[in-house]
Structure formats: C-alpha cells, structure tokens
Amino acid sequence: MRPCIIERYYVTTFSDLDLHKLLMKAINAQGYETPTPIQTQAIPHLLDGRDLLGIAQTGTGKTAAFALPTLDYLLEHQELREPKKPRVLVLAPTRELASQIAESFREYSQFMDCVTQTVFGGVKINKQIRDLQKGAHVLVATPGRLLDLMSQGALHLSKIEILILDEADQMLDMGFIRDLNKIIAAVPKDRQTLLFSATMPKTISELAGQYLDDPIKVSVAPESTTAERVNQGIIHVANGDKLRLLSAILKDPSINRALVFTRTKHGADKVVRKLLQSGVQAAAIHGNKSQPQRTKTLAAFKAGTTPVLVATDIAARGIDVDGISHVVNFEMPNVAEQYVHRIGRTARAGKDGLAISFVAEDELYYLREVEKVVRKPIDIIAMPADCDVTPLPVPDPNFRPPKPKGPSRGGGGGRSGQRQGNRRPGGQSASGKSPGGDQRKRSGGHANRNRTRAKVSA
C-alpha cells in the first residue's frame, strides 16, 4: 500500500476541481464556495480513478469528498438503471449515517438523472425490495440489511463500479468484519474502492491492505487527534453523583444543544428519565428505538425543541447536527478512539465547543487511555456554582490504574446473533485482491480521462 500522496493539486475553489457543470450547479445551489481540506486532497485523485484511504473525522466535508467525484463518474458514463443492480455501493455503520449520506447524494445530484436509495434495518423490508426492483444508480446501506436483501435475491452487486466504506473503524467496532467480507466477495474485482475512517488503528491499515488496490492515502489531521476548537475538561465524580451533576450542568443557559454519551442503551434511558424529572427536556437515541422513533427524536434535536440528546456511541454515528455547543461524556468510553468521535460532534462550522467528561474512580484507566490518544492531559474543571455535588480527590497523575475487568468494547454490536470477537481482518481478502497490485484501468474510467490539471510532482 502506497504510504503517501504522490501528487499534489493546487485547488483553491471548486471550479479548480474540473467537476461536471451539473455538479457545479448543485454546489452553487448549496452555497459552497471553498473546498475543505479533505475535498481538495481526495477529489482530484478520485476523479483519476484511484483507490483511496481517507483519514478524516466527522464534520470535515468527507461525504462531499466521495460523493462529488462518484457522481461525476456517473455523469461521464451514463447508463440506464437496471433492476436490483446498483452501480455505486456506499456502506455505513448506522441507519442515521446511511440516511444522511443518501440525502447528500440527492442534493448533489439534483440536476442530473441519478436515483439514490437506502436500505437499513429497523423498517419493513418489503418496500426496500420494491424500490430496488425499480433500479438505482447509488445504494447506501448498512451491512446487515444489505446481506438480508442479497439472500432473498432482491439485490445483486455484480454491477458495482465504485465501492465506498464510510466510518470503517466503527463498522469494525460493531463486529461487521464478516459481513464486509461477504459483501466484498460479491462485488466485482474491477472497481474503484474508497475507505474512510476517523481513526487509523492497525485494523484499518490491515483492512485497507485487503480491500484497496495501490491506494492514495489522504489525511486532514494527525491520526486520533481531536478538533482544535473543542475545549476539553474533566470532573472527577462518584458514579452515584453523576446524575445530579449532569442536571446542574445542563441547566446552564449558555447551552444551545447538548449531546450526552452513555455506554449502554439502558443507561441512556435511565439518564433521560432523571433529566425529565429534574425539568430538563431530553430524549434518547439507541438501537432499541424503532426507526420512526429515532427519526422523530433526531428531528426534534435538530429543531431545538429537544435540546438534550442522550445517545450510545453506535447510535450517535451519523448525527451530523450543527450547533451542538456541549458534549458530555456521562461515562468514559472504554475504547479510547471513541472519545475522538464523541467530542467531534461539537465545534463545527467554525464554532467553539465544550466537551466535559465525568470520571469515576473505576474509569480512571479509560481516562489515561484517552489522554494517550489525544496526546495531552485533559484539564480538570470546576463544578457548577449551584451544584451540591462534592468532587472526588484529584488522583496522582503518576498513578497508572489497572485495566477494569470485563469486555474491552461497548455493547451494541453488529447483526443480531453475531459474535463480537474476531474483528481483526486477516489473510487474503474475499475479493482476491492483493495490495500493491497493478493499477486498475476501469473501462472508460477516470484513469482514462484526458483531463488537464494544475499539478506538481511531490
């Protein structure tokens, strides 16, 4: 796998990207002016047909980074829709993220003939079967429901030309590696593959080695670093005092929207009940909620009628809401990289944000792991002035607590009945591709375009 970008493109505006005029019309309609760093780095290479490994956190514009060149390819190589056989497949870990990706594709393709469909669990499958029968250019899916549809003969992946894996690290955390192998075994070897991840653990590097062919790697920030505009703080507090502390913090009038994280679904529901009892408008979103419930709750959060959303890590993927002023880690994540995903929900669109973490005595190990990932100690902040909770003594910074007993990853998992173990990809990929192979020349693909770009060798 190629370790770095071999070409640099001078891009200052979207017009420099040489996208199709119908896409430029959609970009202008969205009010976009200047591409984000991930867009300037990724789009030129994707237009050239290269496989790509992108390291980018949420809120960086990565959806447009893969959607725009994908739609550009469909415009350059137009074909009639075939029933059950999409040309582009986007895999996402959660329903919410799949829905938001699909909405972005529809916005960018509003002036072209492109049908985008979504398939995910939590809703009746029959309507999805009927929609797939009508044909789609782009299919955005969660792995579990996609395999269900394939097993019923409602979907075939033999015509996929572009495969996109978004939030790949989260898909691995959720135990989807077996599903991914099954899906990619059904996709043609001659394809363009894009893999995006917010973090770059060893498992993602191994996954890229399996699925990508001589890829370009782009990164908009050092791996596992956090948003610069997020102010971070911790409060050492006993588990039994966390609910009172949370209620006191959320009554701060400066809070616009707050996203509160718990490790379990039961914990999320309990927090919501206590907040409602204390007069704080809150709602929960997690895997046990039906899709209509999740959609309604997220809409109320976006509208501001429910200013506090309590979520599990898995359900929070795909929550792309501007104006989240505070993120509260009611419980420390037991996977340090999740901290990066959590606090990345605030400080978007040029605004500042505050991330507050409650750390109990039995969570000190997780705090130390997080501080390794963010590469700095997190400051201790004061209790709210009107809060009657007494903080715990500040632990010795040189003390290294033992790892708590129990599973190393939070619950939620992948498909029903799927074991959470064996997540590490290994061996030859199901697609039969090996890293570092010959560069693919897709018939009529981007690599064969005769485009003139302003570029300089690195």
Q: Where in the chain is the domain with CATH 3.40.50.300?
A: 7-223+418-457, 230-374
pTM for this structure? 0.68
Tallying the residues shown for the chain, one arrives at 458
CB 258 within 8 A of CB 325: yes
* Predicted local distance difference test score (pLDDT) of residue 412: 37
Q: Which CATH number fits domain 230-374: 3.10.20.30, 3.40.50.300, 3.40.50.1820, 1.10.10.10?
A: 3.40.50.300
Residue 168 CA to residue 196 CA, distance in Å, equals 6
Q: How many CA atoms lie within 13 A of 228 on its CB side?
A: 6
Residues 6+ apart with CB under 8 A from 21: none
CB 159 within 8 A of CB 180: no
* Predicted local distance difference test score (pLDDT) of residue 4: 38
* Predicted local distance difference test score (pLDDT) of residue 228: 63
CB 11 within 8 A of CB 44: yes
**Which amino acid does the sequence have at 419?**
R
> Which 3-state string (H, E, C) describes 51-115?
CEEEECCCCCCHHHHHHHHHHHHHHHCCCCCECCECCEEEECCCHHHHHHHHHHHHHHCCCCCCC
Residue 284 tokens, joined? 């929960």
* Predicted local distance difference test score (pLDDT) of residue 429: 38
* Predicted local distance difference test score (pLDDT) of residue 378: 94
pLDDT in tens, the chain (458 residues): 333 343 445 678 899 999 999 999 999 999 888 998 999 999 999 999 999 999 987 677 899 999 999 999 999 999 999 999 999 999 999 888 899 899 999 999 999 999 999 999 988 999 999 999 999 999 999 999 999 999 999 999 999 999 999 999 889 878 899 999 999 999 999 999 999 988 788 888 999 999 999 999 998 864 445 556 789 999 999 999 999 999 999 998 889 899 999 999 999 999 999 999 999 999 999 888 888 888 899 899 999 999 999 998 876 666 778 889 999 999 999 888 788 878 888 876 667 789 999 999 999 999 999 998 888 899 999 999 889 999 999 999 888 888 887 544 443 334 433 333 333 333 333 344 433 333 343 444 444 443 333 333 33
- Nearest residue to 441 (alpha-carbon basis) of 154, 4, 49: 49
- Give long-range contacts, CB 8 A cutoff, 24+ apart: 373-380: 373/224, 373/336, 373/337, 373/339, 373/340, 374/224, 374/225, 374/226, 374/232, 374/339, 374/340, 375/225, 378/232, 378/233, 378/234, 379/232, 379/233, 379/234, 380/233, 380/234, 380/235, 380/236
Residue 411 CA to residue 420 CA, distance in Å, equals 9
CB 238 within 8 A of CB 211: no
- Nearest residue to 345 (alpha-carbon basis) of 315, 384, 303: 315
β-strand pairing of 192-197 with 52-55: parallel
Residue 95 CA to residue 98 CA, distance in Å, equals 5
- DSSP for 246-277 reads HHHHHT-TT-S-EEEE-SSHHHHHHHHHHHHH
**Which amino acid does the sequence have at 447?**
A
- Nearest residue to 298 (alpha-carbon basis) of 57, 122, 110: 122
- DSSP for 293-337 reads HHHHHHHHHHHTSS-EEEE-HHHHTT---TT--EEEESS--SSHH
β-strand pairing of 455-457 with 7-9: antiparallel
Q: Which CATH number fits domain 7-223+418-457: 2.60.120.10, 3.40.50.1450, 1.20.120.530, 3.40.50.300?
A: 3.40.50.300
Residue 300 CA to residue 374 CA, distance in Å, equals 32
